[in-house]
Every structure is written in structure tokens, then in C-alpha cells.
Chain A
Amino acid sequence: MDTEHVLAPIGEARVSTNPYRGLPDSAFWRRAVAIKPHEVDPVVEARFRIGREDRVATAGSCFAQHISRTLAARGFNYLVTEPGETARNFGVYPARFGNIYSVRQLLQLFRRAYGLFEPVDQAWRREDGRFVDPFRPQVEPSGFADPEEVARDRDRHLAAVRTMFEECDVFIFTLGLTEAWHSTVDGAVFPLAPGVAGMPDHRDFAFHNFSVAEMVEDLTRFIADLRLVNPAVRILLTVSPVPLIATYETRHVLVSTVASKAALRVVADEITRREEGVDYFPSFEIITGPHYGYRFFASDLREVRPEGVARVMDIFARHYMTTGPVERRSYAGAAPVARDAAEMAQLAQVVCDEEAIER
């Protein structure tokens, strides 16, 4: 530890004390973790609150589904912009985008929704001859009849995605994976490896394990863009506690899991430290912390038991949910100028000849 750095701000006080004296219990492992498990609450102070009227949207890896399911049950105003049959995976998330495992996938969903990215891969054929959307291959259990049907459904879907981004008051994103498969043609990132659910008619895809730097850049870009369409949105980041089901790295899956989760956790930390209106909720720590001795996991040591989800949501509700007033403000930076003064002055000089139109 850098003693000089720690002691410097204390000034006179360091003669009779140390910098940790007087810190709250939450700063000390013995008083905050090595206690009765149900008393461990790793949230010290929420940066913002969520009112019952706030429209809450969620996205992320499979753990995000637990959050979505329990939000409505606990009285939150869970936003659904693409309603439909539950059996066809409507309502799992606000729009039918399925799991979003990587930050790049989230950024690309946003860019696809706003017409900035049109991936080459538009539809993949399943083994049964039906087609899937490569970017949400499991949302339609019976698949689509042809690529045109995939495209039509995608247009509707992306409109719902835009509505979600523009209308949500709170956006909760669960970071899930660093390992992903992408197109070598245009960089499109797929949620599942080609062949898992549908197969492209080419071999132009490759494995990529995203670095912290790449993810920080992607998430920073996503937040900046999201704030352009929704300046007041509050963002809550979580990291999925669910281990990798498999790794494509040439190393043990446990090693890959720890590396991935550590990277994701660092990304959430970096972003939370630098971005206003963004908070981190420690569901990862609640589930995987040593205080519960891994008892929140099912026998496969991956699936989170309902008690674990309930514990996460209890703490979430305690710190974030409120029936009182909620501060709403814009987190956007200075807006660019659409027209400068000179251009406006020029416009004001226009003497139009509209009769030409009216004739």
C-alpha cells in the first residue's frame, strides 16, 4: 500500500490515529463479511433510486432474466415494448432480443436498431430447414419460414428496441461473457457460436475474447450514444455470477471463468467510476461471496438457486426501490449545435417564394 498517499489527506490527525479508524463497518471484512450470511449486504450507498413509476428495462446474460422476472413481481414498472406470447419468448426482456452476453453485442444491437450497422449475416438456416435471426437465434422456437420473414420480424423488433432505449428511465445491464464469436467480414458479434442454433452458409467467423480495454471502450460508446437518445436514463451495471458453460480458450474452464468474471468486474468498476448516472449493483458478490459458501448455486455449480435470486433482489429492492420522490436529471454532455449563428442569420434573410409550391 502507498502509505504516503493514504496518510497525506489526514494531516494533523495521523499523529493519533490511522486512516482506517472511524471508517464504517462495511470497510472491514471481519465486520462486514465474516458475520451471519444473511446480514451481509455489500451495497453501501446507491447512487440513485428507482421509483415505482420509473420504467425499468433489462438486458444481458441469462442472469439478467432472473432480474427481469422478479422486477415486475416486486412492484417495479417493468418496461415491455415488444409484447407477445410468453411461449415465443416475448416479455423475457423488454424487446425480444434474447440474451446479450457481451458488451460488443449490446453496442451492436444499439447500432443495428439505429440503422448504423447492417451486418452481412441476415438469416441462418437451421438443421430442420427453418431460419433464425443470427443475433437472437433462440427467440422463435419454431424458427422462421424464410429469410424475408426473419427480416420482417427483425424490423418490428428493432423498432421496439429503439422504443425501449428511448423510453426507459432505468437500464439494467448484466455483463455476462468476454468470449464471443464474430464475423470476420464485418465484425458482427453473435450471441451463440455458429452451429449451436443455426448455421451460416459461410465460414467467415472467428473466436474472440474481449479485453478489458475493448469492453471499456464499447461500453463508454454505448452509454454516450444511449444518452443522445435518452439523456436522463440511469444505468445499473451488474456482473453475472453464472460461470462459463464452456471456454474456447486453450485453458481450463475454471481459469477462463475467473479471468472473464474478473475482466467484466473491472469493466463495470471502470465505467462506474468515470460515468455519471451509472451505478454498479453487486449481484456477483452476493452470489459468489464466501459468506454463503457457494450455497446459492445448484448442484451443477452454475445455476443460481431461487434463494440466491431472492437474496439479490431483496438487497436490490432495499437500496434502489423507493416510493418517495426520485431525482431525475439529464446526464448528457453539451449537445452539439445543429446550426450556428451565421446559418440562422442566413435563414432569417430568406424571402421565400412559396406561391410556386401552392400553384
Chain B
Amino acid sequence: MRIGVVGNCQAAGFSACISRLRPDDEICTVSLNDLKPFADFSAQMTELAGCDLVLTQFIDSAEWGALRTAELQRSIRRLVRFPAIVFAGFHPDCVYLTDAGGSEIRGATGPYHSAIAVACFLEGISVQRALKLYNALTYGSLGYFADYDREVLRLEREFSTGGYDARAAIQASPPVFMHTLNHPRIELLFALAEQVVVRVGLQPLKATLPPDTLSNALRWAVHPEISRQIGKGPPCNFALGGQEFSLETMLSTAYSAYERTPPDHVPPSVMRARAFVRQNVLGHPAPSVRRTITVEDVRTGFRVILGREAEEAAIDAWMRQPATTEDLRQALFTSREFAAKYEALRAKG
């Protein structure tokens, strides 16, 4: 039997599971990750047309053309849907961001960002101060502890519309069953694959798990306070390619990314985190690292202190670094150029 699988980044792992459960069947995988949007998908369509059964996630974005579920329904003999797994219960602080042009902002943590980090950056809170806000009070205030239960209910609804049982799949998986918002651990994909095989009337073999292909991609941290409150653990740090890195590293790299590409369009969860920071932190003195200086500040500073126009290169240099007007003033007053002018003026009397 030839089985086709169409889906996002989860398709490869899901296919591997199907392959373990149905070792005698031939599996044809079409992963959107390997394709370019708006491309010619005729080769993939030919492959899928030769399948006895095609399993697909729900795909309706125009960029995927003939691979959209509505299109496949017209062209494929037997098409069965399985859910794409998105679950924020372990990572309620994790968000996607876009820049002013609507393009995804990518940093050291790929497309994933911390709502608290973005909020702190936008409010001018230093990395060191922001670090201290990753705690139970912030999480509780932002509703993060309640996300797990809500997400389980949502996942149950999504699974049940396709005739699947999310709770059973979760129970068959480790307590922390996601690497990121949209990267399930292989155990959860395997449990889902088993349900899909049974649902289409095939006999699943007792099989061992295939390698977890998503485990080498980014792992978003499960903060200890969240792990404790939702009763699911163990907590874990951020990791990429199996290499762990700290919250401080995530924050520093995120701040650098935002300096380069300011996050202009933020989701509601970032706005809520921003309101929390404004209300609870900024009422008190907090050192600012936000670039408060403007091009006009630099021009004025050069005119008033050095008595000349600023070169474009100098303006660019100032705009590239996080600086305040006080930094500018200090730098100009202590420059050799100012000292020389001062000496010349004094000599003139």
C-alpha cells in the first residue's frame, strides 16, 4: 500500500511514525518545509495521485496552491485529515513577531520570541532587569499558569473534530510533550499516527519510536515556575542542536535582534506583557538601555558643542548604538576636537 503524508514541519516525524506502524507500506512525504510557496507543485501532486491513501493536515493558505486541502479533496482518491499540533501550554511566553513590512523577525531562537523580552525591550528595560521579571508573579499576572488547561481543552476540540482523542495521545506521551509551540515530541506524533492508522481501518504494528527529528531544532525553555504550577515537568532550558543556553543568552541575543529589526507589529500577548511592565515596573526607577537618541539630537549636539555639522558617518555610528543624549553630550565634551577648540578659544581670550 502506498500512503501519502502532507503537512508542515511535523510531516517528516509523522511519516516516520506511520512507517514504523506500517513497515510494509510505502510512504510518500510532502513536507511544506521543503517547498517554496507559490512554486509548481505538479511533481508532488503526481506522487500523491499514485497513493492509495493520503493523510493531510488542514492547509488553506493560497501559497500552497494544489496542495491545499480543498484542492486535494478534488484530486485524491482517499484523503484523510489529521491535526497539526500547536500547543502553547508549556510555552505561554513564546510568540511569533513580524517587522513593519509584515515579515517574520528571526533571531537566535529562529521565529520564536519571548513576549516578556519584547515588552521589556520596547519599554526600555535593561537585560539584567528583564531577567528578574522571569518569575512566578509575572507569569501568574500574564495568565501563563492557566494556559495549560485551556490548551488541553482546545487540543481536545481540534482532535475530536477529526475523530481523534487528544487526551489519550497526551497520556501516551511524556509530561512535557512539546519542544516548542508547534514542535511536538515524537511520542505525541506517534500516538496520533497510531490513532490515524486505526481510524483509516488499518492494523498498526507494535513498533518502537522513530528518531525525534524535531529534537535537534530549537527547544524553548519550560520555566521552573510554570512547570511547578501546571504540575508537568521536568523544567528545561533553551536548547539548539542539543546545546543548552541560558535565559540570559536568549535575552541578550533577542535584544540585539530587536536593535537591528524593531518589532513593530506585536501580538496581543506582547501588548499585555508591555502593560504589565509599564504598570508594575516603570513606576519605579529602572535603568534604560533603549536608544533614546534621535538623528536630530546628534545634529544638534554637534552644532552646539562642536560648532559644526555632524558627518553622515558619525550620525550613523551614533544611531547604531544604544545611547542617550547624556552619552552624546559626555562624548562630545570629552572629545579631542572639543578640547582643541576650547584651547583655541581660550588662547584668543
Closest chain-A Cβ to B193's Cβ sits at a distance in Å of 19
Q: Is the CB of B141 within 8 A of A339?
A: no
Closest chain-A Cβ to B97's Cβ sits at a distance in Å of 12
Q: Is the CB of A166 within 8 A of B225?
A: yes
For A347, the chain B residues whose CB sits under 8 A away are: 86, 88, 96, 181-182
Q: Is the CB of B111 within 8 A of A352?
A: yes
CA distance A228 to B214 in the complex (A): 34
Is A23 an interface residue, CB under 8 A from the partner?
A: no
For B217, the chain A residues whose CB sits under 8 A away are: 354, 357-358
A350 is contacted by which of B86, B147, B240, B269 (Cβ under 8 Å)?
B86
Q: Is the CB of A338 within 8 A of B281?
A: no
For B241, the chain A residues whose CB sits under 8 A away are: 358
Which residue from chain A places its CB closest to the CB of B110 in the assembled complex? A357
For A354, the chain B residues whose CB sits under 8 A away are: 9, 33, 110, 183, 214, 217-218
Is A1 an interface residue, CB under 8 A from the partner?
A: no
B111-147 contacts to A (CB < 8 Å) = 111, 129, 132-133, 135-138, 140-147
Is B280 an interface residue, CB under 8 A from the partner?
A: yes
Q: Is the CB of A114 within 8 A of B138?
A: yes
Closest chain-A Cβ to B125's Cβ sits at a distance in Å of 10
CA distance A229 to B136 in the complex (A): 5
CA distance A346 to B268 in the complex (A): 11
Is A327 an interface residue, CB under 8 A from the partner?
A: no
Q: Mark B143-155, 1 if CB is under 8 A from A, else 0.
A: 1111100100010
For A343, the chain B residues whose CB sits under 8 A away are: 267-269
Closest chain-B Cβ to A230's Cβ sits at a distance in Å of 8
A314-352 contacts to B (CB < 8 Å) = 335-340, 342-344, 346-352
Is B105 an interface residue, CB under 8 A from the partner?
A: no
For B32, the chain A residues whose CB sits under 8 A away are: 351
For B272, the chain A residues whose CB sits under 8 A away are: 336, 338
A120 is contacted by which of B138, B145, B285 (Cβ under 8 Å)?
B285
Q: Is the CB of B136 within 8 A of A166?
A: yes
For A116, the chain B residues whose CB sits under 8 A away are: 133, 137, 280-281, 284
Is A204 an interface residue, CB under 8 A from the partner?
A: no
Q: Is the CB of A350 within 8 A of B96?
A: yes
For B243, the chain A residues whose CB sits under 8 A away are: none
Which residue from chain A places its CB closest to the CB of B88 in the assembled complex? A339
CA distance A347 to B284 in the complex (A): 35
Closest chain-A Cβ to B287's Cβ sits at a distance in Å of 9
User: Known contacts being A338-B147, A354-B217, A357-B240, is A118 close to B284, with CB within 8 Å?
Assistant: yes
Q: Mark A100-118, 1 if CB is under 8 A from B, else 0.
A: 0000000000100011111
For A358, the chain B residues whose CB sits under 8 A away are: 216-217, 241
Is B291 an interface residue, CB under 8 A from the partner?
A: no
A200-232 contacts to B (CB < 8 Å) = 225, 228-229
For A118, the chain B residues whose CB sits under 8 A away are: 129, 284-286
For B78, the chain A residues whose CB sits under 8 A away are: none
CA distance A173 to B214 in the complex (A): 49
Q: Is the CB of B33 within 8 A of A355?
A: yes
Closest chain-B Cβ to A116's Cβ sits at a distance in Å of 5
Q: Is the CB of A352 within 8 A of B147?
A: no
CA distance A347 to B112 in the complex (A): 11
For A245, the chain B residues whose CB sits under 8 A away are: none
Is A356 an interface residue, CB under 8 A from the partner?
A: yes
Is A162 an interface residue, CB under 8 A from the partner?
A: yes
| A-B CB contact pairs (8 Å), 22 listed | A114-B137, A115-B129, A115-B132, A115-B138, A115-B281, A116-B284, A118-B285, A228-B136, A228-B140, A229-B225, A335-B146, A337-B143, A339-B269, A340-B268, A343-B268, A344-B88, A346-B267, A347-B96, A351-B33, A354-B9, A354-B110, A354-B217
Closest 8 CB pairs of A and B: A115-B132, A228-B140, A335-B146, A336-B143, A114-B137, A229-B136, A338-B143, A357-B110
Given contacts A338-B92, A338-B144, A352-B8, list 7 more A-B pairs with CB under 8 A: A110-B137, A115-B132, A116-B137, A166-B225, A352-B182, A353-B33, A355-B33
